[in-house]
Amino acid sequence: MARCLAAALLGVLWSAVSPAGEQGSFGHYVPPVLYPDGISQTFYLPMRDGVRLALRVTRPARDAQPVEGRYPAIWQGTFDISAPRAGGLLDTGRPGYQHMESLARYGYVIVQVARRGTGQSFGKRRGYNDRTEADDAYEITEWLARQPWSTGAVGVYGCSNTGDAAMHAVSVRPPHLKAAFAGCFSWSKWDAFHRGGLYAQWGVGIERTVAGHAVP
């Protein structure tokens, strides 16, 4: 399912910049590989209230240098922005959203954002349904659209908790959000968090300090 959703997102964003791409059935669209590698940069992005969120931006690259040009951006609100797993950007044969960085080779900018109060980001996290994350998602999406390497077409993705985060982004309707896929998310948390009328403590969600997660 993750492979089909990723292909669907990729196809929608590709159509925004390529009028004549390959044709294929749903879930089987694969554009040509355009670049030999990708290169990542990490930094902090201040939000409207001054809280700094950690980002890892991966751009198409050649000879260890980012390729100049404008590309669609795809981002995920996650728990940390640690380096990609073994295999890296050259490993395009593995399915699933965990290997989205490999899409830099197809002409996309892939962005990981540690949500506030998690991973390398600052701030406090108040739970899985914290609408502060929705406001952050709006700012992040519009910031990505304004960058010199962006076409202005932005997509968001995630699965499980990060799928919930993707739906936060959809709910605030950023003008430049063109596509989204969210796997294994849920619209209602009542059964999980309020069973028997008592609020579950684990429902406040994960929170980590920046100690031990500093942006490299």
Residue-level pLDDT at 143: 98
Q: Where are the alpha helices (DSSP H) in the chain?
A: 2-15, 132-146, 161-171, 190-193
Give the phi and the psi of residue 78 in degrees, each rounded to 5: -120, -170
Question: Pairing state of beta strands 109-114 and 52-62?
Answer: antiparallel
Residue-level pLDDT at 161: 84
Residue-level pLDDT at 198: 66
- Where along the chain do its domains lie? 33-204
71, containing H or E segment: strand 71-78
> How many C-beta neighbours within 10 Å does residue 148 have?
7
- Selection from 69, 214, 95, 211 nearest residue 151 by Cα: 69
Task: Identify whether the C-beta of residue 181 lies closer than 8 Å to the C-beta of residue 5.
Answer: yes
CATH homologous superfamily for the domain 33-204:
Alpha/Beta hydrolase fold, catalytic domain (3.40.50.1820)
pTM score, two decimals? 0.78
Residue-level pLDDT at 31: 77
* CA–centroid distance for 153 within its chain: 13
C-alpha span between 168 and 77 (Å, rounded)? 10
C-alpha span between 189 and 97 (Å, rounded)? 23
The label of the residue with tokens 């198409």 reads: 60
> Residue type for 169, please?
A
Residue-level pLDDT at 185: 81
Task: List per-block mean pLDDT (blocks of 10 residues) for the chain, which spans 216 residues.
Answer: 45 46 65 91 97 96 96 95 58 62 93 93 81 95 98 95 91 97 79 66 54 49
> And the tokens for 99?
């290997």
Question: Pairing state of beta strands 71-78 and 109-114?
Answer: parallel
